[in-house]
Amino acid sequence: MRLPPHVGEGLLGLPEASARGFVVFAHGSGSSRFSPRNTFVAEALQRAGLATLLFDLLTEEEAADRRLVFDIPLLAGRLHEAALWASRLAAVRGLPLGFFGASTGAAAALVAAAGQGDVQAIVSRGGRPDLAGSALERVTAPTLLIVGGNDPEVLTLNAAAQRKLHCEHRLEVVRGATHLFEEEGALESVVALARSWFLAHLHVKSDNVAAYVP
């Protein structure tokens, strides 16, 4: 599927039965909508009854510019636009919305969620929530931070960011895992944590989609 306004390609995944929620993925620098790790998580969420959307926050040309890769307000704005556009599709219309962010995508998810009121849950995998800056204090969606136990620098950054969150939040450390969760069983642990978090917090509400405030 093609997502306006940036003509980006997206991969919409639907569960076999009726979906009970909609999770939009925001990948990090050096990755794309074809990320095998995010795809693994997305497919597991689909089996749990959640619809998913993987898409590219930047075009190929933009992704080559390191300034844009770390332009969190830009990434957050595009995440919001994609989620808003996709939420109007018949297959996911009215479903509670969640964000799953990895690396810089986690910061984009937090900033986007801080500016809109319809996001009900956020999961960060090996993310950089510290890059969300002051937006952390405005996040209201329950937030789960997942970090590898053998990723000490990112773990320190997540712990510092966690202290700025005023919403419901939790920091989960996957023992023996490094930044990419490539170790045996590490990504399965991420799936179990993310699935439980989303299923616990994504509930149908009658509220209208709120306007985005960057």
Supply the pLDDT for residue 20: 94
What's the pLDDT tens digit per position in 51-91?
A: 999 988 888 888 788 888 899 999 999 999 989 888 889 99
Supply the pLDDT for residue 95: 96
Supply the pLDDT for residue 51: 97
Supply the pLDDT for residue 31: 65
Helices (H), 115-185: 152-162
What's the pLDDT tens digit per position in 183-210?
A: 999 999 999 999 999 999 998 764 433 3
CA–CA separation, 86 vs 98, rounded Å? 13
At 137, list the tokens: 């204090």
CA–CA separation, 125 vs 116, rounded Å? 21
Confidence of residue 116 (pLDDT cuts 50, 70, 90): confident
CA–CA separation, 84 vs 74, rounded Å? 15
What's the pLDDT tens digit per position in 140-151?
A: 999 999 999 999
Supply the pLDDT for residue 4: 56
38 with 78: CB under 8 angstroms? no
Query: Where do the domains of the chain lie, and which CATH numbers do they carry?
Result: 2-95+106-200 (3.40.50.1820)
Supply the pLDDT for residue 92: 94
